[in-house]
Structure 1
Amino acid sequence: MKHFDKTRHVGRRSLSLLAWLGRYEFATLLSILILSGGIWGVVELADEVFEGDAQSIDETLLLSLRNPADRSDPLGPGWVEELGRDFTALGGVGVLVLVSLSALGYLLLARRYRAALFAAFAVPGGVLLSTLMKVGFDRPRPDLVSHESIAYTASFPSGHAMMSAVTYLTLAVLLIRVQPELRLKAYILVVAILLTLLVGISRVYLGVHWPTDVLAGWTAGAAWAALCWLAMRWMQQRGQVETEASWAGTE
């Protein structure tokens, strides 16, 4: 009987280990797919945009969010337009800097110093990539409708969409990598995705970006976040960044 209980216990541990390995291998494969798919997606979008193949759908989607009788008037009452400005502010430089510093402060207070150092380079690196892409592509802003938000830079990719994806998704995957509870992982990721989507949609609604600009920003930002996840996992395996287990106090 004791031998049977011992065998059953070993079997359960083996199944748990296989489940744990399967979960992380799946996450790694998914991140690689997002990274490679993101790179391919941005290249394809850029090709479609600058050959003019995406112009028709861009114009159709942009105008669908405007009053047919008055292109200067976004759909919906005034409070909806104000809400759009609120959402777009979530992707502004000031808000993203504040969010990034708050996340860094959290990691530092939690004594995850190496994770904080990683985040201090990961987020600005993505923002720099966004800036270089905008300068390189230099696509004009939409001229079909009036702009309901001030815009200074080029249009492709959307800086707000990409920087919000870079900031929220990258910080989310970094926090997930040091957070042991599955429900908290899911919550952090869902909130990050929701914020990123709201920012991008608001940019089209306010008339300052073509839909393909936003799609490219989302795609590039997600690819950057996937790259950061892979990099942090690689560093954790080598003991260079704190792990989930250290957070739980089991190491």
Structure 2
Amino acid sequence: MEPRLLASLCVLAALVLCFAFLADGVFNQQQHGFDRAILLALRDSRDLSQPLGPPWLIASVRDLTSLGGFTIITLVTVLAVFYLMAAGKYRNAAIVTSAIVLGAAAESGLKLLFSRARPDVVPHLVDVQTMSFPSGHAMMSAITYLTLGAMLARGQTGWRLRSFVFGCGLFLTLLIGMSRIYLGVHWPTDVMAGWTVGSAWALCVWMVADWLNRRRRPGDPPQ
């Protein structure tokens, strides 16, 4: 087996196992103490409505968390798909569209399956409406930004540029997930689960795109 494929499968298996561990803990309520401790550690013990840090940090975190919301994710996806189509990469455009649309459907299905309530330990600093597990912002940001980062990195020359492009997607994914914990709207295990399943989804998309690219006929432009 090709080393790159073997490494990808090993990472995928590790991500699936991590999600299974987190999901089992949610069903059995084994991680509730860990979740509570993290949320309480980020708040002023004298006033739980006040997060740690200067006032400007709250506004900054609210701005960051919007990058994982429905509106921004949709806008980024549409612009990326138009870019790929303009570059003649129609197959990649179709892969990105399918991955993110199906990922959004999977995220909604998982929330309904687990039906975990939002944290009630600390006051929420933004309005939320849906269930808690897994974090939709963490999952969709991982699916979107890691998929786009991997796709765009494939078109770069040199490992430095590829690492930078993919690293930007990874950095955004981590920031968005952590913002949900800071704002008190998700248990930490919600975010961790969103990261694992979203990363696994993005990895599967990358593997499919890489396999299709290797199957292209000689003379065909890279997709």
Which consecutive segments of 4 or more residues in structure 1 shift more than 6 A? none
CA RMSD in angstroms comes to 2.1
Match of 1:168 in 2: 145
1:90 correspondence with 2:78: no
Match of 2:174 in 1: 197
- Measured in 2, the distance between the counterparts of 1:178 and 1:132 equals 33
Q: CA deviation at 1:30?
A: 2.8
- Measured in 2, the distance between the counterparts of 1:91 and 1:31 equals 25
Instruction: Provide the TM-score with structure 1 as the length reference.
Output: 0.84
CA deviation vs aligned residue, 1:27-60 (integer Å, no higher than 9, x gap): 3233212221121111110111221110111000
2:53 partner amino acid: G
Q: CA deviation at 1:183?
A: 2.3
Match of 1:14 in 2: none
1:65 correspondence with 2:42: yes
Say whether the 8 Å CA contact 1:141–1:155 is kept in structure 2.
yes
Say whether the 8 Å CA contact 1:177–1:233 is kept in structure 2.
no
Match of 2:117 in 1: 140
- Measured in 1, the distance between the counterparts of 2:5 and 2:156 equals 17
Instruction: Provide the TM-score with structure 2 as the length reference.
Output: 0.94
- Measured in 1, the distance between the counterparts of 2:78 and 2:7 equals 28
Number of aligned residue pairs: 223
1:156 correspondence with 2:126: no
- Measured in 2, the distance between the counterparts of 1:29 and 1:194 equals 25
Match of 1:246 in 2: 221
CA deviation vs aligned residue, 1:74-128 (integer Å, no higher than 9, x gap): 1112100111101100100111111111111211121111111111111111121
Q: CA deviation at 1:247?
A: 4.9
2:44 partner amino acid: N
Unpaired runs of 5+ residues, structure 2, are none
Match of 1:129 in 2: 106
- Measured in 1, the distance between the counterparts of 2:192 and 2:166 equals 19
Match of 2:87 in 1: 110
Match of 2:195 in 1: 218
- Measured in 1, the distance between the counterparts of 2:99 and 2:147 equals 7
- Measured in 2, the distance between the counterparts of 1:114 and 1:163 equals 21
In structure 2, do the counterparts of structure 1 residues 77 and 178 end up closer, same or farther at CA, with 3 Å as the change threshold?
A: same
Look up the SS of the partner of 1:232 in the other structure.
helix
Match of 2:32 in 1: 55
CA deviation vs aligned residue, 1:199-246 (integer Å, no higher than 9, x gap): 000000000000000000000000001111111112112228x99x93
Match of 1:35 in 2: 12
- Measured in 2, the distance between the counterparts of 1:190 and 1:26 equals 22
Look up the SS of the partner of 2:48 in the other structure.
strand
- Measured in 2, the distance between the counterparts of 1:122 and 1:221 equals 11
2:141 partner amino acid: S
- Measured in 1, the distance between the counterparts of 2:79 and 2:159 equals 22
2:192 partner amino acid: L
2:196 partner amino acid: T
Look up the SS of the partner of 1:148 in the other structure.
coil
Q: Which has the greater radius of gyration?
A: 1
Look up the SS of the partner of 1:71 in the other structure.
strand
